[in-house]
């Protein structure tokens, strides 16, 4: 009887997104696994400031990272977090994250590094600094599929949501031995990978997102602006809202910036509430994770190495 694949999930997301992110990756893995038995186990990384509710949630559902080092896993998924410092090495969790990268190289068959975790791992492994984008890369983008060795993609292009202020330059990634899985001229690199010898897969986008996650992030950012917690009114996610709703959001932004809108939150809620929020990328996300799980199964056999 084939044993389950053990996937360690190291969740570094902000407090408000912890449970939702866990649910998103769990659903995606279940959809990709098919009849394959996959077990997702959560772990916490030190160095993140948490509120009381988040600490209770993590204590009740997650193990410490040291438990992962003792127990081992076939593969890991590591999420990003909201940056606090200008430089990643100045973040309080940096030494814990770099230790996890080093451990995963030799003690897993595969790993996924998501969003900021991808930037941190690329910096630690290859010294590649993330670069600020001219504006936030937020929306649903089409990417050409390039390297398909393990991902088993049949499509020429895929759709992936992105939500980030920084990116990694393709030329630097290729120069240091990373292989580009998907890329677009509009949003840059989507997925890239390298043998460490563990199969390290890096995602700058968010294939795990629900259909309305970008909408919720946009609403959050608008409310932050209205509360004086960010200096600029955010642009709506690109290629996300239908024509009428996109026009309505642009008009609302103009009214707010001109001081001519009496109820901006109410107007915002009315517009975004009319958007259907289809998860257009669900099939592409499932295909990516199917390829990743197949690669894990082919590589792992019965070995699971702990520290």
Q: Sheet with 75-78: list strands edge to edge.
A: 63-64, 38-44, 5-10, 75-78, 110-114, 199-203, 188-195, 179-184, 131-145, 157-167
Q: Residue 88 gets which letter from DSSP?
A: G
Task: Please measure the distance between the N-terminal and C-terminal CA atoms of the chain and give it in whole angstroms.
Answer: 26
- Catalytic pick from 208, 217, 238, 261? 208
Round to whole Å and give the CA distance between 26 and 42. 10
Catalytic residue among 6, 115, 217, 261: 115
Catalytic residue among 22, 48, 124, 206: 206
* Closest to 205 (Cα-Cα) out of 39, 24, 36: 24
The length of the chain in residues reads: 307
CA dist., res. 105 & res. 103, Å (int):
5
Cα–Cα distance, 56 to 139 (Å, whole number): 33
Instruction: Tell me, yes or no, if 206 is annotated catalytic.
Output: yes
115 is catalytic: yes
Alpha helices in the chain (DSSP H): 18-33, 52-61, 65-71, 94-107, 116-126, 170-175, 213-226, 243-257, 264-272, 282-300
81 catalytic, yes or no? no
Q: Which residues are catalytic?
A: 115, 206, 208
């Amino acid at each position: 009887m084939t044993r389950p694949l053990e996937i360690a999930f190291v969740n570094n997301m902000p407090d408000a997104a912890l449970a939702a992110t866990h649910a998103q990756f769990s659903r995606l893995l279940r959809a990709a696994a098919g009849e394959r038995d996959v077990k997702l186990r959560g772990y916490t990384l030190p160095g993140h400031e948490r509120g009381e509710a988040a600490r209770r949630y993590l204590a009740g559902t997650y193990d410490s990272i040291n438990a992962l080092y003792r127990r081992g896993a076939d593969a890991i998924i590591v999420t990003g977090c909201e940056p606090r410092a200008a430089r990643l090495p100045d973040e309080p969790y940096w030494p814990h994250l770099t230790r996890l990268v080093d451990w995963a190289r030799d003690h897993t068959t595969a790993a996924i590094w998501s969003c900021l975790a991808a930037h941190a791992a690329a910096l630690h492994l290859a010294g590649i600094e993330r670069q600020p984008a001219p504006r936030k890369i937020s929306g649903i983008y089409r990417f050409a599929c390039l390297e398909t060795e393990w991902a088993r993609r049949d499509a020429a292009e895929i759709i992936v949501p992105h939500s980030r202020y920084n990116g990694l330059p393709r030329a630097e990634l290729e120069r240091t031995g990373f292989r580009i899985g998907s890329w677009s001229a509009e949003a840059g690199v989507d997925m890239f990978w390298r043998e460490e010898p563990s199969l390290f897969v890096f995602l700058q986008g968010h294939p795990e997102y629900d259909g309305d996650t970008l909408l919720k992030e946009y609403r959050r950012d608008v409310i932050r602006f209205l509360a004086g917690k960010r200096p600029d009114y955010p642009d709506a996610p690109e290629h996300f809202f239908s024509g009428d709703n996109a026009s309505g959001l642009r008009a609302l932004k103009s009214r707010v910036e001109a001081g001519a809108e009496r109820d901006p939150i109410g107007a915002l809620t009315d517009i975004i509430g009319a958007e259907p929020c289809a998860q257009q990328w669900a099939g592409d996300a499932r295909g990516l994770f199917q390829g990743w799980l197949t690669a894990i199964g082919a590589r792992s056999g019965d070995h699971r190495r702990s520290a």
